[in-house]
Structure 1
Amino acid sequence: MSSTRAARSSTRRSWPGSPGRQRSQALATEWNTDMATLLMVESWLHSTGLCLPPIIRRLGHEYILFTKDPALYPPISPGEPHPVIRDAREIVVVDTNDDDATCAAASALAGKRRIDGVLTTCDYYLATVATLARLLELPGAPPDVMRLATQKHLVRAALDGAGLPNPAFAVAADWHDARAAAARIGTPLIAKPVDLNAGTAVERICDEAGLKDAFWGVNSAERNTRGQPLRRLLLMEERLEGEEVSVEALTFKGLTTIIGITDKSLTAPPACVESGHMFPARLSPDIARQVETFAVDALDAIGFTHGLSHIEVMITADGPRIVEINPRQGGGYIFDLVHLVTGIHPLEMLVDLALGQMPALDSRVNAASLDRVAAGDGGQRMAGSVEGATTGLPGSAAVFFVMSPRDGVVSHVSGVERLDADPRVHRWALPTPATARRPRDNDAYLGHVLTVDPAGDGARVRAEELVAALRLHFADGETTPPLIAP
């Protein structure tokens, strides 16, 4: 299933003052004015990291990669370079964990060629991208907003400051403070590091032993997977109960458009790993409106004015509550689900926004669906939502992840012939042999099955059924079905 993207305008917004823009007239005869040159600062290896490079090329643009080490992006198969490396016009090796070095390299690059936008798919470089965009006077979110948005405890404080309903929370760098905070909040509670992603080290805590494990696990981790120093702070939150969804949105010039709402399933406690998603979530119009409004209020609370966002919301008995705000596109192949159902590709939106363009949403945008201005000057305005994407659009797409209930080496997977034979399977991936471990974060995924239901909301059920019918064969001779969410 696919759709044709609307014709793109060849006119890009001028952002005067950037070193690249100051030479645009002089270089006009040397550049194709329909081609933009993007600066990509690192990338994820999988999912968005595999998909964005060919999308940039398909849109007629090019990018220059800033990376601290090209070896971070190994070949995806023998003789097949990683797309991030393969599709780059140029690779600049620079310590991307050092803002001063990265800014110096960007300034030097902009002194030689026109740079039209800066982007990344990797959470750990969102603030760096904002800093470079500010330096080069290119489109982007304010750097201080991106620094706040990527620190979970600062987001909680901002929600409190805006007067939004918020679970009780506390942050601790000391074990005694953690114990005291947990006693105030009560158990069960959710504990997590303030500055990691992909569900890493998110735990449901029921007793002091679990709290101690969570605290010392976070306190002892000095760097993330990209070598950046961690704050080693434990965030403890009152546990929210209800249905968890995520709001996919784009914000341009302070106007937020809701792309849609995605449902999700989680593994059983103590780890809370996302096991699958379906787009769109099937919600009543009233609940969908409440969730959309609350998500925009939350973006307003952190000062978010530019970019894609993936806002995780718990629909509780007392109304919507924020789980986390992610100032980037949804991961876990949510961008594929959105594209299959709406014809709108979030990664194309990412490119548009980096170039200072409002993404083309065609007639799918229903500006009258919800149009309101938050109280106060500079309030966030909700421009609308993608028509039908939350409640009325026929069809659904879902992804379910293959995870193992035990550690070990999976030699092969049986039952995949059913995946090839089922017309509702859009795509599946199960590379073997593979090292499996019980899920503690999204790195436990062995593969995925992505399904579509052109006429209804059955995509999730079918994806779960197909994954449940698979069998994991371990090198030690044991055979087991994949882990299925409760």
Structure 2
Amino acid sequence: MTAMRTKAVVMIENSTSGRLFHAAAKRLGYLPILLSEDAGKYRDLDPGDLVTVFAKTRSIEAVVEVCERLQTTLDIQAILSSSGAHAVVAAGACRVFGLAGADPDAISRCQDKFEQRTRLKAAGLPTPSYKYATTPGNAAEFAAAVGLPVIVKPVVGSGSMGVRLCSTLPEVRAQTSHLLQAADFATSPGVLVEEYIDGPELSIETMGQAVIGITEKHLGPQPFFVEVGHDFPARLPARVRKQVTLAVATAIDALGLHWGPAHSEVRLGPNGPVIIEINPRLAGDFIPELVRLAYGIDLVEETIKLALGHPIDLAARAKRCAGIRFLNPGRDGVLRWYRDPASARTVKGVVEVEIHALGGAPILRRGDFRDRIAHVIAVTPRSDQTITALEQALALLDARIAELHDQ
């Protein structure tokens, strides 16, 4: 008699929500398998929590080869990724194995920000003016025509990496030159230069065409676009909420993202909502955890169930207000903690405090999500109470950056 193979869910690399995916897979009765080029980079992984397997995770063919080998001893029921950079690989592998998943062609088109903008514009949706530039001079010409400041960003990327607001033409040339030469952004021979839309920023969390809710985003100081906090649900007038929801639903349809989660970013400009970008993946930055705390909807678990071909349930079971704040260093140097972070956990409403960097760690800011040194999460019945709890907890995280010569 042939032994029954263990049912498994394969995850391709991780995002900030990776550990939530692993835990949800186990709750659903599946063995989580992490495919990674370097599993050691995930500091929050418990080695006893899942099986890790080396794979060249940027290649559909390499992932398929590894999964075929795993299939000899495991019954792989789903393949997915919490990392936007690997979403197209997961979708492509699902197509090969006949598993439920997104259209890899739609994912690929969406991840190219220039092509995405072109399709959204063709659909009549409000987007910033933009140009695909292949030289610093080309970028500066567009910036001069559209008017400063402008944003210069990689064509493919996430986590605010490589995104910068440029207020002068020399800054435009310098940032373009940097992106064209940096190895981290070598996936395209050009950059995206776009009009800067001044206004509050939101993200819209969806599953297929279903809008789960809207998140209010908080950004750090310019010229970077580091997200330093989120509030869910966003405090918006009903009219604005309706406008944002309609624009995003139309955009998702225009991009062919009819399956699975998406995380869309919108700015409320002077003339109404403007779509900044649509990301064909579940939100990062612990936003799914905020949705779970506020509405009782576990987007991570529902995403896995969708990938398994099971029915999903997106009905809200609660109406609370959740938020997260990230602690970012104000300068480069050496990190010192002057108070036990456990004190922040005593604030009413705070449900999580996590330290990302230990005392004595060197701090070299990069202007993106990797700069964060801690975060706090809170949930209460009212948004003002949640914001107060977050502010109080963050104030108790007494971190200071010392000069190198002070060590």
Could you list the per-position Cα deviations for residues 106-163 of structure 1 after superposition, in whole angstroms to 9, with x for gaps in the alignment? 3444466432111111122111001001111111111111111212111111101212
Could you list the per-position Cα deviations for residues 337-367 of structure 1 after superposition, in whole angstroms to 9, with x for gaps in the alignment? 11101111111122112112342134x3xxx
Q: Give the superposition deviation at 1:52.
A: 1.8
**1:190-209 → structure 2 map (5 Å cutoff):** 190-209=151-170
Structure 2 residue runs without a partner (length 5+)? none
Residues 153 and 192, structure 2, Cα contact 8 Å, conserved in 1: yes
Residue 30 of structure 1 aligns with which residue? 4
Residue 119 of structure 2 aligns with which residue? 158
**1:269-280 → structure 2 map (5 Å cutoff):** 269-280=222-233
**Alignment partner of 2:279 out of 326, 329, 336:** 326
Distance 1:293 1:478 in 2: 55
**Alignment partner of 1:127 out of 88, 99, 109:** 88
Residue 137 of structure 2 aligns with which residue? 176
- What percent identity do the matched residue pairs reach? 29
Q: Give the superposition deviation at 1:294.
A: 0.7
SS for the counterpart of 1:159 is: helix
Could you list the per-position Cα deviations for residues 419-461 of structure 1 after superposition, in whole angstroms to 9, with x for gaps in the alignment? 1321221111234213334461011100011112224443124
Distance 2:374 2:319 in 1: 27
**Alignment partner of 1:235 out of 192, 196, 205:** 192
Change in 2 beyond 3 A, CA 1:398/1:108: same
Could you list the per-position Cα deviations for residues 177-232 of structure 1 after superposition, in whole angstroms to 9, with x for gaps in the alignment? 112221222111111111121011211111012112211121111236xxxx5214
Distance 2:234 2:39 in 1: 38
Change in 2 beyond 3 A, CA 1:463/1:299: same
**Alignment partner of 2:266 out of 313, 316, 319:** 313
Distance 2:404 2:363 in 1: 14
Residues 10 and 32, structure 2, Cα contact 8 Å, conserved in 1: yes
Could you list the per-position Cα deviations for residues 231-284 of structure 1 after superposition, in whole angstroms to 9, with x for gaps in the alignment? 142111111122211101101xxxx11111110111121111111101010111
The one-letter code sitting in structure 1 at the alignment partner of 2:354 is A
The answer to whether residue 321 in structure 2 is matched with residue 396 in structure 1 is yes
The answer to whether residue 221 in structure 2 is matched with residue 268 in structure 1 is yes
RMSD: 2.4
**Alignment partner of 1:451 out of 367, 372, 378:** 378
SS for the counterpart of 1:160 is: helix
Residues 66 and 94, structure 1, Cα contact 8 Å, conserved in 2: yes
**1:64-463 → structure 2 map (5 Å cutoff):** 64-73=33-42, 76=44, 82-83=45-46, 85-89=47-51, 91-110=52-71, 113-223=74-184, 229-251=186-208, 256-362=209-315, 364=316, 394-414=319-339, 416=341, 418-430=343-355, 431-433=357-359, 434-438=361-365, 440-463=367-390
Matched residue count: 404
State which drifts further: 156-165 or 110-119: 110-119
Distance 2:311 2:119 in 1: 27
The one-letter code sitting in structure 1 at the alignment partner of 2:86 is Y
Change in 2 beyond 3 A, CA 1:272/1:70: closer
**1:41-60 → structure 2 map (5 Å cutoff):** 41-44=12-15, 47-60=16-29
Q: Give the superposition deviation at 1:394.
A: 4.4
Residues 274 and 442, structure 1, Cα contact 8 Å, conserved in 2: yes
The answer to whether residue 396 in structure 2 is matched with residue 472 in structure 1 is no
Distance 2:266 2:174 in 1: 27
Change in 2 beyond 3 A, CA 1:456/1:122: closer
Distance 1:343 1:69 in 2: 33
State which drifts further: 102-111 or 51-60: 102-111
Distance 1:239 1:261 in 2: 22
Residues 308 and 329, structure 1, Cα contact 8 Å, conserved in 2: yes
Change in 2 beyond 3 A, CA 1:415/1:64: closer
Distance 1:449 1:356 in 2: 34
Residues 400 and 460, structure 1, Cα contact 8 Å, conserved in 2: no
Distance 2:293 2:107 in 1: 29
State which drifts further: 101-110 or 264-273: 101-110
Residues 193 and 232, structure 1, Cα contact 8 Å, conserved in 2: no
SS for the counterpart of 1:305 is: coil
SS for the counterpart of 2:183 is: coil
SS for the counterpart of 1:414 is: coil
SS for the counterpart of 1:200 is: coil
Q: Give the superposition deviation at 1:165.
A: 1.8
Distance 2:402 2:391 in 1: 25
Distance 1:64 1:415 in 2: 35
Residues 107 and 136, structure 1, Cα contact 8 Å, conserved in 2: no
Could you list the per-position Cα deviations for residues 9-42 of structure 1 after superposition, in whole angstroms to 9, with x for gaps in the alignment? xxxxxxxxxxxxxxxxx97x826xxx84212222
The one-letter code sitting in structure 2 at the alignment partner of 1:68 is E
Change in 2 beyond 3 A, CA 1:63/1:427: closer
Residue 382 of structure 1 aligns with which residue? none
**1:12-27 → structure 2 map (5 Å cutoff):** none
State which drifts further: 414-423 or 122-131: 414-423
Distance 1:446 1:69 in 2: 22
Change in 2 beyond 3 A, CA 1:438/1:101: closer
SS for the counterpart of 2:330 is: coil
Residues 424 and 452, structure 1, Cα contact 8 Å, conserved in 2: yes
Q: Give the superposition deviation at 1:401.
A: 0.6
Residue 372 of structure 1 aligns with which residue? none
User: Which is helix-richer, 1 or 2?
Assistant: 2
SS for the counterpart of 1:210 is: helix
Distance 2:160 2:22 in 1: 25
The one-letter code sitting in structure 2 at the alignment partner of 1:464 is E
The one-letter code sitting in structure 1 at the alignment partner of 2:285 is G
Structure 1 residue runs without a partner (length 5+)? 1-25, 77-81, 365-386, 388-392, 480-486
